[in-house]
Structure 1
Amino acid sequence: MGLYDTARLFGFEVESSDNLRFIPLAVRFNLDRFGLRISLEQWQMLPYDDRVLLARFPIDDEAGLEKNFDLALAEMLKTYANAVPEQVERDTDPVWAHADAVPETVIRQSSLCGVSSPSLSKWVELERFQRYALAKLSRNTDKANHDFLPAMREFGLTE
């Protein structure tokens, strides 16, 4: 599978990403997949067109993603931030990859946002990338994430 025609953004991200000032979930997904981490400051050092390019990379594991994402990111960071992506341990069994249970963090984040958590039947119907997004947005269980409720609405999980 080749690159998407445009940056892969959820509707709720278009406003909150502030014209790709913040790292979109598609890029975060690939960072997690390759076991890489970059800072927001490093992301913002990249030219806008390079940020768009990184957001166009596929998000399907089954698509046989070419190793170009990590190579492109490394080259961009070297060129524009004089840095390299930090290597981190990959989660080989992430909670979002399982459709058989709604993650506890998603349930807690739903409560913090004042909405019901997704039912198991709704969780199963979500695309893997949607489950990833909700799991990623629910990491902090101490306060409500400003994008979590818009994501729930976009995915048809709440009014």
Structure 2
Amino acid sequence: MGLYDAARLFGFEVESSDNLRFIPLAVRFNLDRFGMRITLDQWQQLPYDDRVLLARFPVEDEAELEKNFDLALEEMMKTHANVAPEKIERDPDPVWAHADAVPETVIRQSSLCGLSAPSLSLWGKLDRFQRYALAKLSRNTDKVNHDFLPAMREFGLAE
């Protein structure tokens, strides 16, 4: 598999990403996977075409392309923001990687939205990128994430 033909966005992200003004989940996924962090301001300093390119990198395991995401991002950041992406520690065992347990944060965010949490069987049927998205959207357990309910609907977990 090569780069996607277009930016990889979930349906619920199309409106909320505001034409890639915000960092899409596909890019966040690869940032987390490579142990990199950039700020929203740094993201917005990148030209639109560079943001599209970064959002076209696959979210599947692909050894040949994976190493190119970090190199591309580093070059773009140096060129357009005059900084390198921050290096962070990678989570060796992220909660979303497990299809056999619904994360507590997802259960709490579901409750905040007035939803039942996904059943274990439905959680297990999600692909890892969908599980990543729900886990990422449910990090703050004190308030409702505006994309959580639309994501649950898109993934067939809510009406």
Q: Give the TM-score range, shorter chain.
A: over 0.9
Inter-partner Cα distance in structure 1 for 2:66 and 2:40: 25
Aligned equivalent of 1:105: 105
Inter-partner Cα distance in structure 2 for 1:66 and 1:10: 20
Aligned equivalent of 1:78: 78
Q: 1:66: Cα distance to partner?
A: 3.4
Q: Which moved more, 1:31-40 or 1:64-73?
A: 64-73
Aligned equivalent of 2:121: 121
Are residue 44 (structure 1) and residue 41 (structure 2) matched? no
SS of residue matched to 2:100: coil
Aligned length in residues: 158
Inter-partner Cα distance in structure 2 for 1:29 and 1:13: 14
TM-score, length basis structure 2: 0.98
Aligned equivalent of 1:35: 35
What are structure 2's unaligned runs of at least 5 residues?
Answer: none
Q: 1:2: Cα distance to partner?
A: 1.2
Aligned equivalent of 1:11: 11
Map Cα deviations across residues 132-155 of structure 1 (whole Å, 9 max, x no partner): 000000000000000000000000
Inter-partner Cα distance in structure 1 for 2:127 and 2:100: 13
Are residue 152 (structure 1) and residue 152 (structure 2) matched? yes
Aligned equivalent of 2:57: 57
> What is the aligned-residue identity percentage?
84
Aligned equivalent of 2:22: 22
Aligned equivalent of 1:92: 92
Inter-partner Cα distance in structure 2 for 1:2 and 1:67: 13
What are structure 1's unaligned runs of at least 5 residues?
Answer: none
